[in-house]
Structure 1
Amino acid sequence: MSELTPARLAEEYLDYIAGVRRLSPCTVRAYSRDVRLYLEYSQVQAVSFPPDRRGLRGFLGFLHRNGLSPRSINRVLSALRGWFRYLQKREIISVDPLAEIEGLKTNRRLPEFLFAQEIDKMLSFEEDGFTGSRDHLIIELLYSTGCRVSEAAGIQIKDIRVAEGRIRVLGKGDNERFVYLGGPARKVLGEYLSFREALLRRRGKDSLQGGVFEGNLLVNQNGGALSVRSIRNIVAEAARRAELGKHVSPHTMRHSFATHLMDKGAGIRTVQELLGHSSLKATQVYTHVELDRLRWVHAKAHPHGSKNTPDRGSNTKDEIS
């Protein structure tokens, strides 16, 4: 037990969330950075382990003095909470040191989303063979399914149920769910699969299953799996080409998917399931988005509304018609 130093315990925890819980590499890197920041502070300040309330309050003061926002401080606390709970389960510590320390209050940011007309603009570009068809599919796929960019990048051919219009995706924590393709997405998917097959034949990728090339749905020009970064760049380029005047990411498409569902009367628990949220709390932000939209429409359309309300986009007439 003497060899189980805080640093060693931290490394074991990070291995656990990466290898057992299968959290995303981005989340693992963030947790690693936050836990190691605490370890450096505790070593310099000679904070006992496990820390007491006073030691943790000192760490929070250190973060504040170094300019971290309340949101960033809460992220650090979240990483430490996960670590301490892991140590409790292993019976390394008996009490969670953060049990009585609450997160800082923050102003909740509403997610950015696009109007349907803006998404139509992103999809109105001329297709050019394999690349154009694939990029078109990416926009349709993200908007039709609401899946995360990592989920889209990980879709395998065997996961697609074309006749049923659905795709099995692997979400956070290796949780599986089905997402659904609308008519336009299914049409573009069929066209893309033809281009994909021709490309893989040219590249000598002869791994066939049931007459269909298996592997990742989204591939690059060399036939390899398309990276998350490439998907982000494709989405950003589509928005630039459509002259939307705003930064658009795959997560913007996911927010648009959820917002438009709520706007058309979908229940919050249905949206939760489609998004793959483990907690309803994560989905409730979209009720705020809808209230914000209704407030904006009232301000613009009602004779006694606030005429100083800034425009939310280029589709103001469509929004209040």
Structure 2
Amino acid sequence: MESERQLVVDFLNYLMIEKNSSPFTIEHYEKDINDFTSFLKQQAIEGFAAVSYVLVRHYLVTLHEKKYARNTVARKISSMRSFYRFLNREKIVEENPFAMASLPKKAKMLPQFLYEKELEKLFNVSDISTPIGQRNQAILELLYGTGIRVSECCKLQLKDLDLFVEAALVKGKGKKERYVPIGSFAKEALERYISDGRKLLLEKTENRSDSLFLNYKGEPLSARSVRNILNKIIEESSLNIHISPHVLRHTFATHMLNEGADLRAVQELLGHSQLSSTQVYTHVTKDHLKKIYNNAHPRA
């Protein structure tokens, strides 16, 4: 299966170079393809070209038998559909056996977000007298203050920040760029980190990195590391919740809309290409308004 492995490597390189996918997205694609490859071995199928639509249906049944969530099944099938689309483009296969596979309807879940009191606990965790604490505080303030994705956060370089005009140039999905405003709290945290903590971290290595956020070795910080940082902050805050970097993004959008921000403006700030991606947050704000109504109206 060595040649098959090379096809997977070629596809992952295509995602990284041509599609500008985040490391986290690429990691999911690789896992989904590896899972399907294991399934092929169990079925004694040699090569991706030997896969038929009937086999895809069998794979779907196997996923359901393993009790995978609908969203996970949908993602796995979508990953394989994209992979076979690539194989078809490269003339490796004649047809895409996943093209006709129907995706299970995704469970409708409202975005999870944090309340202001929960956020305050997070912001009081980091020891800002240390380089790592300054960095962590800057990451937290920036993710919540701008709503940018963690992959976009990790791509930021010093030259992308203009703290005088309080804005950052963000490189988003599909190589699209946008400017986002930086609030006063994030600006203060970034200034402290850049002038102090970042310089101390940079002394740990001979490499002169332009990346904004560095790890303890002075090297560019990875998306996985940011997730680990947030998990540690949660543990130290004593909040009995699980958050991801995306929860801070959800919180940013929800709080903006709750305070009356225009939906189109929030769409632009988040870097959504489709308004429908932003509209999911209006469901959260409707719940917020309903709660206010029920608590305040005499005849609610």
TM-score by length of 2: 0.83
The worse-fitting range, judged by mean Cα deviation, of 198-207 and 156-165 is 198-207
- Is the 1:169–1:179 contact (alpha carbons within 8 Å) kept by the matching residues of 2? yes
Cα RMSD, aligned residues only: 3.2
The alpha carbon displacement at 1:288 in A equals 2.2
The answer for the alignment partner of 1:318 in structure 2 is none
CA deviations on 1:206-257 (whole Å, 9 max, x unpaired) are 96xxxxxx62222345433334344334333434444433223322211111
The answer for the alignment partner of 1:148 in structure 2 is 149
Q: Does 1:169 align with 2:170?
A: yes
Q: Secondary structure at the match of 1:73?
A: helix
Q: State the AA in 1 paired with 2:67.
A: G
CA shift in 2, pair 1:206/1:46, >3 Å: closer
In the alignment of these two chains, the number of paired residues is 297
The answer for the alignment partner of 2:277 in structure 1 is 282
CA shift in 2, pair 1:244/1:204, >3 Å: closer
The answer for the alignment partner of 2:78 in structure 1 is 78
The alpha carbon displacement at 1:301 in A equals 4.3
CA shift in 2, pair 1:18/1:296, >3 Å: same
Segments of structure 2 that go 5 or more residues without pairing to the other structure are none
Residue 219 of structure 1, aligned match among 193, 203, 214: 214
The alpha carbon displacement at 1:162 in A equals 1.6
**For 1:246 and 1:92, how far apart are their aligned partners in 2?**
46
- Is the 1:50–1:97 contact (alpha carbons within 8 Å) kept by the matching residues of 2? no
Residue 13 of structure 1, aligned match among 11, 14, 23: 11
The answer for the alignment partner of 2:34 in structure 1 is 36
CA shift in 2, pair 1:281/1:98, >3 Å: farther
The alpha carbon displacement at 1:144 in A equals 0.8
Q: State the AA in 2 paired with 1:177.
A: R
Q: State the AA in 1 paired with 2:165.
A: E
**For 1:129 and 1:204, how far apart are their aligned partners in 2?**
18
The answer for the alignment partner of 1:210 in structure 2 is none
Which structure has the larger Rg over C-alpha atoms? 1
The answer for the alignment partner of 1:249 in structure 2 is 244
The answer for the alignment partner of 2:181 in structure 1 is 180
CA deviations on 1:23-61 (whole Å, 9 max, x unpaired) are 223222222222233234345436694644322211111
The answer for the alignment partner of 2:134 in structure 1 is 133
The alpha carbon displacement at 1:275 in A equals 1.7
The answer for the alignment partner of 1:45 in structure 2 is 43
The alpha carbon displacement at 1:160 in A equals 0.9
CA shift in 2, pair 1:183/1:192, >3 Å: same
- Is the 1:74–1:104 contact (alpha carbons within 8 Å) kept by the matching residues of 2? yes
The answer for the alignment partner of 1:309 in structure 2 is none
**For 1:219 and 1:149, how far apart are their aligned partners in 2?**
14
CA shift in 2, pair 1:242/1:146, >3 Å: same
Segments of structure 1 that go 5 or more residues without pairing to the other structure are 208-213, 306-321
Q: Secondary structure at the match of 2:180?
A: strand
**For 1:263 and 1:242, how far apart are their aligned partners in 2?**
25
Q: State the AA in 2 paired with 1:63.
A: L
Q: State the AA in 1 paired with 2:221.
A: L
CA shift in 2, pair 1:261/1:52, >3 Å: same
Residue 23 of structure 1, aligned match among 21, 24, 27: 21
CA shift in 2, pair 1:96/1:265, >3 Å: farther
CA shift in 2, pair 1:15/1:34, >3 Å: same
The answer for the alignment partner of 1:105 in structure 2 is 105
Task: Map 1:257-276 onto structure 2 (within 5 A).
Answer: 257-276=252-271
The worse-fitting range, judged by mean Cα deviation, of 165-174 and 77-86 is 165-174
Q: State the AA in 1 paired with 2:70.
A: P
- Is the 2:201–2:214 contact (alpha carbons within 8 Å) kept by the matching residues of 1? no
Q: State the AA in 1 paired with 2:22.
A: S
Q: Secondary structure at the match of 2:170?
A: strand
Which one has a larger percent helix, Structure 1 or Structure 2? 2
